[in-house]
């Protein structure tokens, strides 16, 4: 890794460079230097992101746009250029590397630790989306085409079922039945988008709690990270993806499903934060479909984990056997709990919107 780091315009001498964080996609290292400024070095997963130059063009464009609105380097992700002034380095093996300034004195949470953490992450993602309202969306590349196109995710699941390349289908009959029973409803948001009811915005598309950094002392939201999937998308998807990860009482890969519950109080907190971060930018259809976004993103993610399990775990990094199946099961458990709590989920959003307009 230090070989790769040597190509970047760093302040100080690297002291250590160790694996860091809990992302499922890229390989991330914390690069500690002998100076104040430390760095995040990442090997970009180019099996997932097929066009890395296009991806880095998106990230550089968005982070420069944001830093023109807020110049504090702890509040906007900063891309560090190579010695030649490029935004990434490609090594002799064809691997791609990039460097960000490490946001010091920050927290990256896997779940809410203190009351208000999740709400504050909602504010950060809402504000992120609002700040990008005037970003020229047509200049963004689709880094993963059809990323949150749920009907398309179903097509991919069907292909994996038909192929059953790892002979795992017989173990997942229940999960497949659960997914297929919800296939029709899963396309609702895409249909509304096509009808023009839902606005296509510049969205983050991977709004997990661990993709936002909080200040270690004040716990204020600092910086939205992991901009790989910033693309045109729906507000309900950004809202929903946060809920599926952060409003669960257990980890995404918890084996004991009795521990996995959908928490309405956490859902409410996040919604409060997200709506305040978005300001007045959402239209009524977008607001009304926030619960649907939570349901659809949770279902979609479960479908993606199931597909990957059937395909032999080729997409999401796994550390143990059947981890993707466990991840799928937690998502489907959350989906059924959301269905049971549907009226309450809708009520919370209308109550919060009424409060806001008062
Ligand atoms: P992945 O796409 O694999 O999730 P991320 O870009 O989210 O990769 O990075 C993985 C982890 O590295 C994050 O969850 C966070 O802990 C840490 N991280 C990434 N960028 C920064 C940064 N600029 N400052 C501090 N920590 C960071
Ligand atoms: C991946 O990159 P990371 O770990 O923040 C994935 C998300 C999934 C998530 C599930 C580019 O997010 O879409 O929701 O895992 N990112 C990509 O935890 O596929
Ligand atoms: Mg991440």
Angle (deg, nearest 10), helices 342-357 and 290-310: 140
Residues 336, 302: contact at Cβ < 8 Å?
A: no
Predicted confidence at residue 78, as pLDDT, reads 96
The superfamily in CATH containing domain 108-357 is Aminoglycoside phosphotransferase (APH), C-terminal lobe (3.90.1200.10)
CB-count exposure of residue 219 (10 Å: 0-12, 13-18, 19+): middle
Cβ–ligand 1 distance for 63 under 6 Å, the answer no
For residue 11, the 8-state DSSP code is S
- Asked whether the predicted pLDDT for residue 315 surpasses 70, the reply is yes
Hunting for tokens 């257990």 — which residue is that? 250
Mean pLDDT of 13-19: 94
24 lines ligand 2 (CB under 6 A): yes
Structure tokens at 61: 């464009």
Asked if the model's pLDDT at residue 249 lies above 60, the reply is yes
**How far, in Å, from the CA of 188 to the mean position of ligand 1?**
32
Asked whether residue 172 carries a pLDDT value surpassing 70, the answer given is yes
The full DSSP string for 66-126 is HHHH---TTTS--EEPBTTS-S-EE-TTS-EEEEEE--TTEE--SS--STTHHHHHHHHHH
Give the rounded percent of residues in the chain with a pLDDT score beyond 70.
99
Tell me what pLDDT residue 272 has.
97
Under 8 Å CB-to-CB from 273, ≥6 apart: which residues? Answer: 118, 119, 120, 121, 122, 123, 124, 126
Cα four-point dihedral sign 304, 309, 311, 315: positive
Pocket of ligand 2 contains residue 229 by CB under 6 Å: yes
The segment(s) of the chain belonging to CATH 3.30.200.20 are 2-104
Q: Give me the phi and psi of 19, to 5 degrees please.
A: -55, 145
Nearest ligand 2 atom to the CA of 25 is: 2
69 CA to middle of ligand 1, Å? 22
Q: pTM of the prediction?
A: 0.95
What percent of the chain stands above pLDDT 90?
A: 97
**205-223 tens-digit pLDDT:** 999 999 999 999 999 999 9
Question: Quick one: angle between helices 290-310 and 173-180, nearest 10?
Answer: 140
Mean pLDDT of 81-97: 97
pLDDT category of residue 357 using cuts at 50, 70 and 90: low
Whether the pLDDT of residue 317 is over 60: the answer is: yes
Neighbours of 176 (CB within 10 A): 17
The predicted model gives 332-355 an average pLDDT of 96
Using 50, 70 and 90 to split pLDDT, how confident is the model at 1? confident
Q: Which is the CATH superfamily of the domain at 2-104?
A: Phosphorylase Kinase; domain 1 (3.30.200.20)
Pairing of strands 96-101, 79-80: antiparallel
For residue 41, list its beta bridge partners: 29, 99
Q: What is the pLDDT of residue 356?
A: 67
DSSP states of 47-72 as a string? TTSS-HHHHHHHHHHHHHHHHHH---
The pLDDT mean for the chain works out to: 96
Instruction: Report the pLDDT value the prediction gives residue 71, as an integer from 0 to 100.
Output: 87
Q: Is the pLDDT of residue 72 over 80?
A: yes
Q: Which atom of ligand 2 is nearest to the CA of 23?
A: 4
**Going by CA atoms, what residue is nearest to atom 15 of ligand 1?**
21
pLDDT for residue 355: 73
| Ligand 1 centroid – CA 22 distance (Å) | 8
């Amino acid at each position: 890794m230090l070989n790769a780091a040597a190509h970047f315009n760093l302040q100080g001498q690297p002291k250590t460079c160790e694996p860091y964080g809990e992302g499922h996609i890229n390989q991330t290292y914390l690069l500690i230097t002998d100076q104040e400024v430390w760095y995040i070095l990442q090997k970009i997963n180019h099996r997932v992101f097929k066009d890395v130059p296009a991806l880095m063009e998106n990230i550089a464009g968005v982070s420069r746009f944001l830093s023109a609105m807020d110049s504090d380097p702890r509040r906007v992700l900063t891309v560090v250029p190579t010695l030649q002034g490029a935004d990434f380095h490609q090594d002799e093996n064809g691997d791609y590397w990039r460097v960000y300034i490490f946001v010091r004195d920050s927290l990256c949470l896997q779940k809410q630790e203190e009351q208000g953490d999740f709400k504050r992450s909602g504010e950060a993602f809402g504000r992120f989306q609002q700040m990008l309202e005037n970003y020229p969306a047509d200049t963004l590349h689709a880094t993963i085409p059809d990323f949150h196109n749920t009907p398309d995710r179903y097509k991919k699941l069907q292909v994996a079922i038909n192929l059953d390349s790892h002979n795992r289908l017989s173990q997942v009959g229940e999960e497949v039945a659960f997914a297929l029973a919800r296939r029709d409803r899963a396309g609702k948001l895409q249909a509304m988008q096509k009808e023009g009811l839902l606005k296509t915005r510049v969205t983050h598309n991977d709004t997990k709690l661990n993709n936002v950094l909080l200040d270690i002392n004040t716990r204020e939201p600092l910086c939205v990270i992991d901009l790989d999937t910033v693309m045109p998308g729906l507000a309900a998807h950004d809202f929903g993806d946060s809920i599926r990860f952060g409003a669960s009482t257990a980890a995404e890969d918890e084996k004991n499903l009795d521990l996995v519950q959908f928490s309405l109080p956490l859902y409410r907190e996040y919604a409060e934060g997200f709506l305040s971060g978005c300001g007045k930018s959402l239209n009524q259809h977008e607001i009304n479909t926030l619960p649907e976004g939570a349901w659809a993103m949770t279902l979609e993610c479960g479908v993606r984990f199931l597909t990957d399990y059937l395909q032999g775990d080729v997409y999401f990094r796994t550390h143990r056997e059947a981890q993707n199946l466990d991840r799928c099961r937690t998502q489907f458990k959350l989906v059924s709990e959301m269905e049971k709590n549907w009226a309450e989920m809708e009520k919370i959003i209308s109550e919060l919107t009424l409060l806001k307009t008062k």
